[in-house]
Every structure is written in C-alpha cells, then in structure tokens.
Amino acid sequence: MGGCVVFGAFAQESSEKGKSDLSVNLNPVVVTGTGTHQRLKNTPAPVEVITSNDLKKAGITDFQQAMTMMVPSLSFSTNSMGSYLMMNGLSNRYVLILINGKKLIGDTSDNIDLSRIDMNRVRRIEILNGAASSLYGSDAMAGVINIITDEPKDIIRASSNTRYEKYGQFSQSVNVDINKGKFGSYTSYKHEQSDGWQLSPLEYTNSETLETTPTLDRAVNGFHSNVFNQKFTFAPSDKLSFYANGGYYWKLTDRPGTQDGIEGGTTYDLHYESYNFGLGGRYKLNNRSSISLDLTSDNYNQNYKYIRESGDFKIGDYNKTKKQKLYDGDLKGIFRFTDNSTTVFGLNYRSEGLDRPSAGVDKSVYTAAAYGQHEVKLWDHFTGIAGLRYDYYETAKGNLSPKVALMYSVSNLNVRGTYSRGFRVPSLYDMYYYLFKTSTLTAPNTGLKPESSNYFSLNMEYTTKNFNFSVTGYLNYIDDMINAKNEKFADMDPAVAGAIKEKAKEDLGMTDSEVKKLTTYKTNRNLDEGIVRGVNVSTSANLGAGFSVSGNYAYASAKGKDAEGTWTPINRAIRHSGTIAGNYAYDFTNCRMNINLNGRFQSKRQHPGHAYGDAPGYGTWNLNTKYTFDNFRHFALEPGLGIDNIFDRTDGRPHGVNYGLLSPGRTVYVSLAMRLK
C-alpha cells in the first residue's frame, strides 16, 4: 500500500467500567522511510506500519500470514523449497528484508527463509514501497520490509505465548527482558512445528493429457524449527550507548521418503542452520545530532539429511549443500544543522559469500558505499528530501542512486510526490550458479549487467483522529531485467551443443550417462525490460462503541518485454488484491474481550506459458477472539480461540499445478499468552 498508513493500529484506552474507547493510532514513530526517527504523519516518504497490537488482535504469529492478511501489495506462492514472495508486481529478488535495519540473508531455492523471524519479539513492521536504493543499496527495487523488534523498559518482563491447531501446527515462544540501571538484557526463544499436509493425493504426470497418478508429495511439508536471540545493552551515560547481540536458528523439514510403487517422496530432508552476531554503539553529540556504528555478521547453512540410502550416503548422513555469509559495517551520522532540517551521512562496507559445493561455487564479493540525504522544511506547508548514494561493487563497478521527494501538508491533508532510482547487482547465484539436475544444465554468466529502475509515485492522504484514507499511484520502469532463458539442446547447432556438454562434463564431473540425459540448457541473461503500473488504496476508522474497521486494495499491472520484443505478464504477478478487517473490544469487570474478523481476496496469479495455467483467485476469512484477565496480582492471562479459513476454501486439484491457496481448509486454533506484571 502507498501512503502513511497504519493498518487498524488502534490503541485501547479504558474510559469507564464496562466500556472501551478506541482511538486510531495513526502517528507512531518510524525510521525506514528516511533513515531517521520521526512521526509517521511528518515523513515525506510514504510508509506503511503494522504494529504488534494489530498482530495480537488478529491472532497472527507467523510473518507470512501477517503480510498476507494485512498487506495486499504482498503475496506468497509455493515453491520447491519455500514460499515465493511478490511485492508490487515484482519478485522476491527485488525486495529487501531487514531486521532493525540489518539485511536478512539465507534463502531456500532463491527465497528468503522467513522462518528465522520471531514474530513475538516484533514491535512493528514498516513497509516502504518502491525503489529505495538511495538509502539501502542493491535489491531495494520493489520495496523494503523492516522488522523492528521490541526492547521493553520495564525492570523485568517475562512472557509466554502458545498456539496449537490442526495438522500438528504448534508454536511456543518465551521472552525474558531485564532492564536495570545502565544494563539491559533481552532474551527470546521460539519453537515451531507442523506435520504438513496434502491438498490432493494425486499428481499430474503429463501436462498434455492431464494424466494423474497417486503421489506422496505434499503441498506443505512438515518441519521443526528453533530460534534463539539474545541482546545486551549498556548505556554508561545519557550520550553514549552500546549493544551486542547474537542469534541461532535451526530447522529440519519432515518430508515423505520414497516408497516403491508410488510416485513422489524424497531421499533426504532439508536442514537449515544459521547464526548471527552484531555489536555497535551510538554517541549523541547533542539532543538533535548523533553518530552510530553498527557491525553485523550473518551466516546461513543448508544441508541434506538423508532419510533413504542414496549413492554413497547412508540414512542419517549430512551433506553440506550451501553456505552464505554476510559481513556488514555501517557508520552513520544524523545532524540537525538548522531547526528546519535533518541531514544524514553514511559509509557502508559489505562482504557477501556463497559456497555451494554441488555447483562448484565458492565466491565472495565486496561493496563499498557512501550516502547522504537532506530533509528540509521549505515553507510553512512544504517538506522536501534529496538523497544520493554511490556504491562501488567488486563485480559491477560504480552506481549512483538518487531520490527526491516533496510533501505538501495543510490541516489534515498530506500530498506526497516521489522519484527514486533503484538497482540490483547480479547475485552470486546469477553469475556463478553451475550445476546439472536430471535433464537440465544450468550454466553461469559472469557478464550480467546490473538491473535498474526508475520509480515515480504520487500519494494523497487524509487523516483525522478517528479516520484515515490514503491513495497512491505509481509507475516502476525496470531495465535489463535478469531472467533465465531455456534452450533445447536438440534445437542448437550440434557443434555448440557438444562443446557445452563437454565443458560441463569436465567442470562438473558428469558421467557419460548423465550427459546423455541432458535436454535443456538454462542460463541467466539480461533479456527484459519491465513496467509496473499500480494503485494502492487504504482506509481505517474508529466507529465508536469499541468498533473499528480497515480496508486495503492493491492493483498492479506488471509486464516484461523479452529480447524479441514480446510483452507478457511478469511471472507470479497478481492484478487485484485486497484485505479487510473489523475489530470489536469490550471491557467487562474482570476481563477485556477482543474479537477480530479479517479477510484476504486476490485475483488469479499469472503464470504465462505454464502447462497447468494460472493459479486461481480466492477469498478467505479468519476469526480471532482473545480474553485478557489482568486482575491477578503478579501476572496476566490471555486465552484465545480462533478459526482460520472460516468457509473452508481449498484447492484440491492434483499436485503440480499452480496453487492459488495452500490452506488445508477450515482449522480451529487455541492460544494462551501469559505475562508477568
């Protein structure tokens, strides 16, 4: 969505016994749009915000569910090893995901592993639409999602959250926070698991005749995961503060093993493991200016754990298939040289590495960057931003990313106009990924050019104490889009095809038998240009007497042009999507009740040229109820009961199609939250 919008962020305030007075909280502090902390209403860069209160009222404990049910401009679809994210008509490779401003790495089949995100520690989620490379560098072409975690200031706070529903879906999280004097400690742990499920016991074996056969494969695989995070803070004075943090993540899938006489299944489960750490400090020059330094390291590993004997591997053996590394240092200064302006200067150094033994890849690249941004109140009703970033990439050399934005404010009305340039440097996958799988040979391309975009948007927002309406129109032009091109060896010059196969045989150690099975040659190339035209609309209102509502709609027409000049829809793009939510809160004598009804609707997801066609559109509704008992002396209890997919919508077509909805159908869940006072 465009515009400064808080999705149903309603802060509850008890007024008199037996009643609840809800006010629309439309002005939280945000940081993603400009890189500085300021009130949402005052930022010239449109930002969307989902608060922890929104998540609790909707009964959401999963990041993917939060984005699906609250942000229509985002969508997810199934992929071979993860969830494929789309934002404003563009794929996940153009979306930058941050946690407290730090890049999240670790992907499964080119999709960021979202299981690493502990939603019970989230304070708010900020969504910045459109190109944002002037502040954040590469990858931020469709937008930025910044997850801000909570650091309570209570002397001690402890909480527990439990949820269980059908198909063995269980989550348990525990937070313990201590803040005493100059020291702070923030600890969190979360365990999740699921048995997974099939949508159909059949799968297609022939795309032309639509023949089917029984299968073991599931639409959603089972898994177990654990996430642990720890952060320490130390503030020796009002001007100086330090922090150190670290985290560990472990996940193991539970996929069906192969069986004789039935299709599907696998010989191995997927094992993911990551650890990260960081440290930094901040020095306040005065009440208006500061300098900060942040150092971050993130490491993500993927292994096969064999559940059937395969080649030289026995049951229980591990095989390392991928390791990703990130080292990042950011020096940033915020200065308020005048009463009406804020200036940001920064230096950034980043090193990223990829080790993939099966593809013969062990590479690392560095990036050095300098950026600056100036925000100034020009006249009584105008505020402007001008920003510029220069990045030097080891593989792609130099790149400039400008941004300008202007906001006109009068009374309850804000009008914002933005131009920004985005870019994306070819990833190590794009340039060095070299492997064979069954009948397809994927070849590297070190000659890829960076992708770039020009983003224009116009936003109008009207806000009062109890009502908000926002509409944004945007255009995003993309040049040199990187797409895979598939060629049949049978259609190639025999001499060329033979040379390619011989080189693959030498580099990858392929056998003659494996070479004979190759039918398709796949390589990444700068083939396309693209354009996304979109409109986002959002509204929220407090109706009084404990009732509040919100609704959001996103339209995106996303098309790409290939080297032959043919325009087609961008793969996995969705034209229409929307969300709607209603909330009711009431205070009894010893209990606060909250009822939340929310829905998601979207049109078909486009898969041009796919044998099984587009994924159908759908609409689902969820109901969540919570009851808060806080009259105990030392603790509070919050039991919950809810229904996901009330009307039991499912996609029961054979496995292998482009599913529009992965829900197993109507499920009832129970939850219990506990916290110390």
- The whole-number mean pLDDT for each consecutive block of 10 residues of the chain, a chain of 677 residues, reads 41 37 56 80 84 88 89 80 82 90 79 85 90 90 91 86 96 94 94 95 83 92 95 95 96 94 92 96 93 96 94 93 94 93 95 87 93 91 95 91 95 94 90 81 89 96 92 95 86 92 84 86 87 95 94 95 84 94 93 96 91 92 95 91 96 90 95 91
User: Under 8 Å CB-to-CB from 112, ≥6 apart: which residues?
Assistant: 82, 85, 92, 97, 104, 105, 106
Burial (Cβ within 10 Å: 0-12, 13-18, ≥19) of residue 616:
middle
Tokens of 455: 């983003």
Q: Is 411 left (phi over 0), alpha (psi -120 to 50) or beta?
A: left
Q: What pLDDT does residue 22 have?
A: 39
Please name the residue ranges forming H helices in 46-114.
52-58, 63-70
- From first CA to last CA, the distance across the chain in angstroms is 37
Q: What pLDDT does residue 206 have?
A: 76
pLDDT in tens, 424-433: 999 888 888 8
Q: What pLDDT does residue 144 have?
A: 92
Tokens of 198: 């099939």
Question: What is the value of pTM for the model shown?
Answer: 0.90
Q: Are 274 and 236 in contact (CB under 8 A)?
A: no
Q: How far apart are CA 626 and CA 630, in angstroms?
A: 13
Q: How far apart are CA 101 and CA 98, in angstroms?
A: 5
Catalogue the long-range contacts made by 385-388 (C-beta closer than 8 Å, 24 or more residues apart). 385/34, 385/44, 385/45, 387/134, 387/135, 387/344, 388/134
Using CA atoms, how far residue 637 sits from 173, 219, 289, in Å, is: 15, 36, 42
Specify which residues 374 forms β-bridges with.
343, 386
What is the sign, positive or negative, of the torsion defined by CA atoms of 424, 429, 434, 438? negative
Q: Are 505 and 518 in contact (CB under 8 A)?
A: no
We find that the CATH architecture of domain 5-676 is Beta Barrel (2.40)
Q: Are 313 and 285 in contact (CB under 8 A)?
A: no
Using CA atoms, how far residue 354 sits from 430, 526, 667, in Å, is: 12, 22, 40
Count Cβ atoms below 10 Å from residue 88 Cβ, excluding itself: 25
User: Under 8 Å CB-to-CB from 447, ≥6 apart: which residues?
Assistant: none
Q: What pLDDT does residue 434 have?
A: 82
